[in-house]
Chains A and B, each alone.
Chain A
């Protein structure tokens, strides 16, 4: 509770101070800067959704600022409507175009995403310039603030409006980003495949995140229009985009406070640059900070030499430049570049990321205590096994060009069983899993779950149909905690519609989700590490966590893809124990594994694949003696004296009897 009180208290105090400033100070210039601070605050919170939460470099945000500004301007000048409709229209345009742009940009990552957004920004500048009849082209567009309820908005009143909107946006976004939505955005960044496979849906979340961020960009654009009352296409170019990125990165990603700090920096920056003396002081301070941090990092060996030295060199250049250069304004962009460079390399978490660690240590703020875990019976009700076939593969085929990875597979998995799937490397096990779970579309054949066809070619829809899986190459959400990894996948708890979440009315189910997720962590023995980031867990713990996360789907069928691969012996034993516990809940399991002892201990039935076909099926002991199986593994007819060969390093092969 202490933590929450401190945070809310700090927010209240800052906003209260900001709100009273116009009453105390009557300096129009300062008021103008503060108004801009509020507007850029909204803009950067929007940008942070894509840059921070989705983790994509978005170079198109400035276009939404421009389009929002022009929309508001046109609504007022051409349609003669008031400020409210204008702002709403600006936001709607941002939302709509953002969503539209997200559709093609959906499949893109990294450089391609950056390029797509960059092109969109360039295209919108072209459009604003060329649609002269509407926008006035390079001439610009003048507008005036329409009165609100008969009142002319004086600068202080307009400032209060901007601040109030910033506060509202702040509150709504805080609620949203702390909810399942925010977690889904981050999950998407760390592993889109797993996000789909956990039934969360990368598609709608990516579109939603991008549209939301762009909508805020549009709203900020509307305010921008009424603030300056004059618009020009060349105000919304690549240069401004760089400055906005500077704001988000410098302030700190994934943080509302970071957006606030960032917007203060970019509002104050021009003033800083115009006063040479001030600039020298600040660059000197920056240099000292970089030097101290760099030396500390080197001494403690927490940073690489480049990471420690590069910011020092960059800030050093800034200091030297400050003395050599006559007019710092001329070198504006180089100065931005050096500052940004130092921050990106030396302080990747930004000012707020750094500060919040520092403050948390200073005040020793404890994490909010975890609730008691729910009863396992409530989270994962045990179900009776009826022994009927749960999953049936009928003549399943998947070919890649000429490679017949799966070639006519027919298997029936009984409900309540642990069904082993083994075979030498390249026998098609992983392909089968990927076809069942929807990553690959089958070339032909059918997959039936309880007698009805399972969706094909969509991880998301298969997950929704009740099939969960783990990944051989771990696909955890590394930046999320163990608890959050499970909460992201949790099924059947989150019911509140988006508006309720926005207004913070989803807290009850959030508490329930935490308790439920804790119960699952308890099942795999990770309750004590619930608040550790997944990437910081040991390798064994990460494998266990994959299972807990898949269980959060409350699946009918759980596919475990080599759950013991690479585990040390004690961890293998624990893994067996975990799988047994899961099996006791009545969940049907398909187990792909190279460790024969694991298979023998757990499975009631084993299917052996080779060359994409079934070569044997039966109880583990029978299968081990099957001549075809021995041949597949050893590559020769069984001879009593044949030396034991190991087709898979680390995993014992089935031995000829």
Chain B
């Protein structure tokens, strides 16, 4: 057993894990305001990546494409909120689970037919040459993922804490009814959270595509792990997802090395079921006191 190989696997796994963390963070954003998450978030990641690829193919430079992609993601998030979530929340039913799955299926099928079923490379100006840090190789591409994830999460957290709109967001998360009584529109805040969540998903797609290529199924494995991360960390725990995401990434990279690549998904799933059984509110989540 070679320490260097283990280190290498763990580091590159952990960097991938940051992508799971970013998608999971998107779940937290909507869960905070509306106690709902988009079960079709993976399709949002994928569709936004395809859209960004189209922008690039139209001749847009990389840095100009990113805002376009994020805007598209935000728009998709708004569509999900309007079509799948709002009605169910008004009726206080669990229908949104099914409806977001359905919408995801629709996006998937549309993407399949619009952009084709094949995986395509995603051009990027960031080089994929390895650099040697502390005995392990990392590429600039992998580092760019880390930077992008931390940057957007930091920006959104700052927004929530420093701006008036962000404070409204926090108020609705803390107590929806009280916030409404103070004149904050909960509906608009939920819309905002879905738009942000969509933008986050789009960024995840743009960051990960140069590494994994773009295709209709690019997010199906990704999303399962993002679910695991969100639930294991707790759906209301802020930066807990980063830690859990990196751990999970490292773990599965080691699992695929020692058990075979087919078992790659297994640690995340086992971890998820265990976490749900032992700590349903997540490792960093708060236990709620039942009131009647």
Contacts and interface: CB of A to CB of B under 8 A. Distances in A.
A338 B290 contact: no
Residue picked from A110, A119, A310, A336, most chain B C-beta under 10 Å? A119
Contact of A332 (B39, B109, B110, B262): B109
A414 B213 CA distance: 75
A147 interface: no
B112 interface: yes
Interface string A234-253: 00001000100100010000
B292 A337 contact: no
User: A interface, how many residues as a size bin?
Assistant: 35 or more
Given A122-B224, A471-B292, A330 B113 contact: yes
A336 B101 CA distance: 11
Residue picked from B87, B277, B292, most chain A C-beta under 10 Å? B292
B273 A119 contact: yes
Interface in A86-132: 101, 103-105, 107-108, 110-112, 114-116, 118-120, 122-123, 126, 129-130
A111 B276 CA distance: 11
Interface stretch (A18-26, A340-348, A350-358, A503-511): A340-348
Given A110-B97, A338-B106, A119 B227 contact: yes
Given A108-B280, A130-B260, A331-B113, A114 B97 contact: yes
Contacts of B290: 193, 439
Contacts of B276: 104-105, 107-108, 112, 115-116
A125 B110 CA distance: 26
Contact of B106 (A108, A337, A344, A472): A337
Given A104-B277, A130-B260, A341 B102 contact: yes
Contact of B102 (A104, A105, A115, A337): A337
Interface string B78-102: 0000010011001000110111011
B270 interface: yes
B292 A245 contact: no
A104 B270 CA distance: 12
B170 interface: no
Contacts of B272: 115-116, 119
Interface in A289-307: 304, 306-307
A170 to B, nearest CB: 25
Residue picked from A335, A344, A345, most chain B C-beta under 10 Å? A344
A55 interface: yes
A122 B98 contact: no
Contacts of A307: 87
User: B interface, how many residues as a size bin?
Assistant: 35 or more
Contacts of A101: 273
Nearest to B101: A242
B95 A111 contact: no
A112 B37 CA distance: 10
Contact of B269 (A105, A122, A193, A334): A122
A333 interface: yes
Interface in B222-237: 224, 227-228, 231
A655 interface: no
B108 interface: yes
Interface string A534-549: 0000000000000000
A226 B266 CA distance: 30
Contact of B292 (A115, A120, A434): A434
Contacts of A400: 289
Nearest to B266: A126
A154 interface: no
17 contacts: A107-B276, A108-B276, A111-B36, A114-B97, A115-B227, A119-B272, A122-B265, A123-B269, A126-B263, A129-B262, A249-B98, A330-B112, A330-B113, A340-B102, A340-B105, A473-B291, A561-B292
Given A245-B101, A473-B291, 4 more contacts: A126-B265, A193-B292, A306-B86, A341-B106
Considering the complex of A and B, which 7 residue pairs feature the smallest CB-CB distances, nearest first?
A104-B277, A334-B109, A337-B106, A333-B109, A337-B105, A130-B262, A119-B269
